Structure 1
Amino acid sequence: MSFEYLESGRALIPLAGARHIEHGPSRALAAGVFRINTAVAGYKRLVNCIGAPRDTVDLRHNLLKTRLQVRELVKETSAELDRVRQTYKYNEVNDSKKIADAKLTKDYESVLKDFERAQLLAAEKEKAFPHPIANNTRQPSNRASELEISSLNPMQASLVRESNRRVMHMENEIVLNEAIIDEREQGIREIQKEIGEVNEIFRDLAQLVSAQGALIGDISSNIESSHAATGEGANQLAKASKTQRSTSSMTCLMLVIVGIILLIVVVVVVS
């Protein structure tokens, strides 16, 4: 990326474009791109820890916090991008400024694509390594009570307690699976929403590229391909969500059937 004009959060401008980026929207855009790039680098480091020994509840919270931070930076930088675009709409812009702004546009496009890839990877890894969830239980309706068990002989009581334990375990698994599904789908919905926001930014970039003209025509084709890849990524996330719910629903059904069979066997033995 063309960050030779940025260092330690302060804009250092190449001589060729200094008078154009030193003040105004272009300078603010350059600073915003630098901050986003730094935040995305931190986000990618957190994503790489998902599923690793350092994967903890705190890490998942930091992952969410960093993602929200990047989103806020993107909104601010997009506002500056719009201001840059307005200068092309209402003012004559010389070739030197067009070249300088073209570099900024390309850098912004690149960091957004990097963030998009990191989000898609995070969604895939969070599906493979679910967030730790408290194992909440609910009172079952198909387990024998201790009062009923106390009236049985020791062998029968042992069998019934073992059946109760298995049924309780299966019920807890169902609750846990439902919670995991809800969390994953919520995460996928959030990422899909963010991808939609990135799409809007790509459209703004395309308008700026059009205003800048032939000097940066090659960037336009890159933005169009990025826009298509973004849509494909959103479709893949939607398909993954549907597949996950179908598979988990079948698993829950099988667990309930097994629990009923175990209970019938115990009743037969007891009788």
Structure 2
Amino acid sequence: MSFDQLSSLESQPTTMRRQDDPQYSDDPEFQRLSQELMTKLFTLTGNISRLSNEIALLGTKRDTERVRERVHDLLEESKDTFKEVGEGVKKIQSWEDVSPSQKYTQQKLAREFQNNLQEFQSVQRLALEKQRTSATAARSALEESQSPGTEGTSPFGQQQAQEQLRLASQDEVDFQDSLIVEREAEIRNIEQGVTELNELFRDVAHIVTEQGEMLDDIASNVENTRNDTQGADRELRSAARYQKNARSKACCLLLILAVILTIVILAAVVG
């Protein structure tokens, strides 16, 4: 590198050099996606906490349609967000040529996603159990209210009372029946969400397991390379010692030959 090139490089702003140098800056797209996923995971943590509080009200005196509506909305919102985050985590896990810091981010995102999803699935199952219990109790109560009574002093008076009761309560029966249908539909919806998130959890776990095996292979290759390098270094050192000893022996032989040659020459001159 010439002096002019060196001066030009040093005159560039530090931030520009850091953007061009991969050891100072990670992939901007990777960083943007990972930050977006972490933000959504934080939101999901809050949703799970609120869901737990709302589900605790189901089946109690504070159980209202408004509570059930909030539970439904939070379940749907969280389920959709988990799907988005799951796809993002799978994309992050398949990122190529990652740096050590990016590898740490991959592992952290996968771990946080799996932990949050497991907690959400527990909340889902609790909501499903309470919805089933509530629907069963409501169905039983509705069937009992529709069964004819046996009280009355005369058949005519009993029949007339039953007819008036039937007409007066028909609207309420229809309303209760529609609520039961809605709850049963909600049960099916929660069951479907549980199944979908189970598949997503398995997909991410499979990718993480494959990456773990890949890391094990890389670590094994690095270890083998290190062992091979150490063996080669030992062999080189041994060869260097052998070569040094060979040079020393050659020098000794040359010295002996020179002495013998000198003696022979002197003897010839004297003789």
Q: TM-score range by the shorter chain?
A: 0.5 to 0.7
- Aligned-pair RMSD on alpha carbons? 4.0
Q: 1:213 to 1:166 in 2, by over 3 A?
A: same
Q: Is it true that 1:193 corresponds to 2:188 in the alignment? A: no
Identify the match of residue 98 of structure 1 among 86, 97, 103.
103
User: Cα deviations across residues 222-266 of structure 1 (Å, max 9, x unaligned)?
Assistant: xxxxxxxxxxxxxxxxxxxxxxxxxxxxxxxxxxxxxxxxxxxxx
Count of aligned pairs between the two proteins: 181
Which protein has the larger Cα radius of gyration, Structure 1 or Structure 2? 2
Alignment partner, residue 130 of structure 2: 125
Shift of 1:127: 2.4
Match of 1:209 in 2: 208
Question: Structure 1 residues 19 and 58, CA, compared in 2 at 3 Å: closer, same or farther?
Answer: same
Moved more, 116-125 or 72-81: 72-81
Gaps of 5+ in 1: 1-17, 143-153, 218-271
Give the 3-state SS of the residue equivalent to 1:92 in structure 2: coil
Task: Please state how far the C-alpha of 1:55 moved relative to its aligned partner.
Answer: 1.3
Q: Deviations over 1:14-50 (max 9, x none)?
A: xxxx968992322222112111111111111110111
Question: Whole-Å Cα distance in 2 between the matches of residues 216 and 27 of structure 1?
Answer: 24
Structure 2: unaligned runs, 5 residues or longer: 1-24, 217-271
Post-superposition offset of 1:116: 1.1
From 36, 51, 55, the equivalent of 1:28 is 36
Residue in 2 aligned with 1:68? 76
Tell me which protein shows more helix as a share of its residues. 2
Q: Structure 2 length as normaliser, TM-score? A: 0.54
State the 1:186 CA deviation. 1.4
Identity of aligned residues (%): 22
Structural mapping, 1:176-187, within 5 Å: 179=178, 182-187=181-186
**Counterparts of 1:34 and 1:121, CA distance in 2:** 22
Which residue is equivalent to 1:111? 116
Distance 1:27 1:182, change over 3 A: same
Counterpart-to-counterpart distance in 1, 2:133 and 2:98? 50
Cα separation, 2, equivalents of 1:32 and 1:215: 28
CA distance in 2: counterparts of 1:207 and 1:25, whole angstroms: 21
Distance in structure 2 (CA, Å) of the matches to 1:216 and 1:124: 41
Normalized against structure 1, the TM-score is what?
0.54
Name the CA distance, whole Å, in 1 between partners of 2:203 and 2:68. 32
